[in-house]
Amino acid sequence: MMGNSRILVPFPHVVEKLATYGAKMVVISNSSRRASTTLEKLKSLGFDPSLFVGAITSGELTHQYLQRRDDAWFAALGRSCIHMTWNDRGAISLEGLNLKVVDSVEEADFILAHGTEALGQSSGAAWPMELEDLEKILEACAAKEIPMVVANPDYVTVEARALRIMPGKNIRHSG
């Protein structure tokens, strides 16, 4: 078991042992990142990604819903979005979603919150912003009743004995 990118299982070879018995293992995470990125991260945690049949992340599900738009709520969203993403942790790509990233409330059909460190740009780059500045944008969007998609519902995560703000915290500013 892993939590906040740390191994919580006291026996490091449990995954390998389960694989030798034919266990089918899937990573389930509320990470705002895509499944492929999550599987790649397993290497840095000391796991062999090939031992897992896949990953299900909230970021992957968000991506799929925005891509397919076969759900009525997602189908009703427009294509112009304000993208809140990561900076230090690496911006999240919107490739394949046919979205137009905008930086003004007036142009936005919806808000897409993957992170809390930056405002995504149409070029794919991330413009670092303080959380307070992102919150002001959210409040302006809430005043216009602009819908928001939050790819990770967590309010905080623990990293190296410190709390780090996560996208779920943005919900309180969205109305």
Name the residue among 147, 143, 145 with its Cα closest to residue 72: 147
- The answer to the question of residue 125 being in a domain is yes
Q: What digits encode the pLDDT tens for the residues 85-132?
A: 999 888 899 999 999 999 999 999 999 999 989 999 999 899 999 989
Give the confidence band of 14 by pLDDT, cuts at 50, 70, 90. confident
Please give, one letter per residue, the 3-state secondary structure of the chain.
Answer: CEECCEECCCCCCHHHHHHHCCCCEEEEECCCCCHHHHHHHHHHCCCCHHHEEEEEEHHHHHHHHHHHCCCHHHHHCCCEEEEEECCCCCCCCCCCCCCEECCCHHHCCEEEECCCCEEECCCCCEEECCHHHHHHHHHHHHHCCCCEEECCCCCEEEECCEEEECHHHHHHHCC
Q: What digits encode the pLDDT tens for the residues 131-172?
A: 899 999 999 999 999 999 999 876 566 565 655 655 556 555
Can you give the CATH number for the domain in which 139 is found? 3.40.50
Contact 139, 148 (CB under 8 A): no
Q: What digits encode the pLDDT tens for the residues 59-94?
A: 999 999 999 999 999 999 999 999 999 998 888 999
Domain count, the chain: 1
- The answer to the question of residue 65 being in a domain is no
- The answer to the question of residue 131 being in a domain is yes
- The answer to the question of residue 119 being in a domain is yes
Domain range spanning residue 152? 72-169
- The answer to the question of residue 31 being in a domain is no
- As given in the structure block, the two tokens for residue 25 are 């293992």
- The answer to the question of residue 174 being in a domain is no
